[in-house]
Amino acid sequence: MKIELKQHKSAPSQRALQTISHLIILLPQACLKAKTKKTWPTLPYGEILQQRLKRGGDASAILTTDLPNKASTHVTLSGIKDDLSRFELLTLARKLVAPHLAQNPSHIAITAAGFEDEETTTPLITAVVAALLAASSEMPSFKSKAAKPSKLRTIQLLGIKKRIDFSRTHAEAAGNNLARQLTTLPPNELTPALYRKRISKLAKAHGWKMTFLDQKTLKRKKAGAFLAVCQGSSEHDAGIVHLRYTPKTTRRKQTPLALVGKGICFDTGGTNLKPAQYMHGMHEDMQGSAVALGTFLTLSQLKVPYVVDCWLALAQNHIGPNAYKQNDVITASNGVTIEVMHTDAEGRMVLADTLVQAARLKPTLIIDYATLTGACHYSLSARYSGGFTNRDQLIDEIITAGRNSGERVWPFPIDKDFDDELKSNVADVKQCSLGGEADHILASRFLQRFVGDTPWLHLDLSSGNSKGGLAHIPTDITGFGVSFTTQLLFDNNVLTKVKG
């Protein structure tokens, strides 16, 4: 679905509003709190809006009202505080667009008035546009009575004197929407085989090179960690998808960015079977791969000038007579031997061999995405995701990229002495500990063994599902990570910093 953005230099007039059915108005909160009418910027029906806002008695609340004109223009209006964080602004944007989209309009207008300059209004406008793009994206539904599809086709920006470039907003929305749509699919609709078919269609549509490392290939590569997880499945459709985006002009010896995603299409817990309340929703355990793929789509749409690899570890963690079990010792493709401690710690197993494959191509940076541990969720809730890196210079970048993107990430330590908990009497390393203490950190120490000295960032997506939505995303499944990554790459320039 294509939504067109139309930018108009002229501010909305009373006459123009006769044909506008839905309008979002952004004003400085200072002018809403002021007692005199003179502090208000010039707006059609300004006195009526001011009176209705005053009647509500709370200048910080969102005003929702209909104007007394021919179109009965449905208006939401909010005052914007000077010190709003990006997360708070995106959250406000979600609340502003919701009353409009509930009426399923085909056109929505946005205006910002009373602000000092265009630099102030641009992030406000882009936040509202991002919220509209997120909320109007259709998620998979299998109800017999389907919901009405979104009619939104045009977003008009009124009073915008300097043209705003929305290419990144559009690309991030496309990547996030793809991640959410894939994660929403039920497990019988997104087996590894069906997932691969969807990826193949995307690869053809966008000109990506695609290869698939099936189980026979992985056996030749001695990828025992990956194969241990999928051996319990009666279907032999598991494997690693490798996608490559190459810009039209690039240096031959340029090393790529590598995105890696955990794609466990369903997680029973394996031999250490999950109880029902924890197995419910385990079709979402592939969200890391969906975010990696969504980020890959975003970067290719933005035509980044460097090579990007995307590695997706697709498998299911099933039970059965052949399923891997506690105390098995297996060997990963880099020769590291692993003592299996808990079969529900399968995510780090499939990621181990996938990271080895990614690192062998000597990328400038590896970023992996995974709904990996409950421990990270216990530590941060669904408000933040956890970040782990083997480069100290990325720690501050993780924090600032999270704050500035509105997808907040907090770094955790991965000091060497955490390895004490992973010492095995029979293998090089334990897969995990049975105590559960700091499992998100232990999982990261485990994964670090498989990237070598490659600069690496691991995102434990504790905010992959947030009841009621998060920031501008209105669905429980958030697709968290796409905007954070583009912020990290475009604004924080981390590729340059890790090279140095």
Positions marked catalytic: 274, 348
Residue 410 CA to residue 226 CA, distance in Å, equals: 28
Q: Phi, psi (5° rounding) for residue 393?
A: -70, -10
Distance of CA 356 to the CA centre of its chain: 24
Amino acid at 491: D
Q: In what order do the strands lie in the sheet with 329-331?
A: 329-331, 337-339, 429-430
- Would you mind telling me the total number of residues written for the chain in this entry? 500
Rounded Cα distance, 172 and 491, in Å: 14
- Is-contact 218 226, C-beta < 8 A? yes
Contact yes or no for 329/224 (Cβ under 8 A): no
Helix (H) or strand (E) holding 331: strand 329-331
Distances (CA, A) of 191 to 7, 18, 186, 234: 43, 51, 9, 12
Cβ–Cβ under 8 Å, residues 373 and 460: yes
Tokens (6 digits) for 220 = 């030749």
Instruction: Determine the Cα–Cα distance for residues 101 and 107; give it in Å rounded to an integer.
Output: 10
CB pairs under 8 A, 24+ apart, for 8-11? 8/156, 8/157, 8/158, 8/159, 8/160, 9/159, 9/160, 9/161, 10/158, 10/159, 11/42, 11/43, 11/111, 11/113, 11/158, 11/159
Task: Judge whether 237 and 193 are in contact, CB under 8 Å.
Answer: yes
Contacts of 488 (CB under 8 A, 6+ apart): 367, 397, 398, 401, 457, 494
Q: Are 317 and 272 in contact (CB under 8 A)?
A: no
CA distances from 35 to 47, 78, 81, 262, 308 (A): 13, 17, 17, 55, 55
Helices (H), 41-166: 46-56, 86-101, 118-135
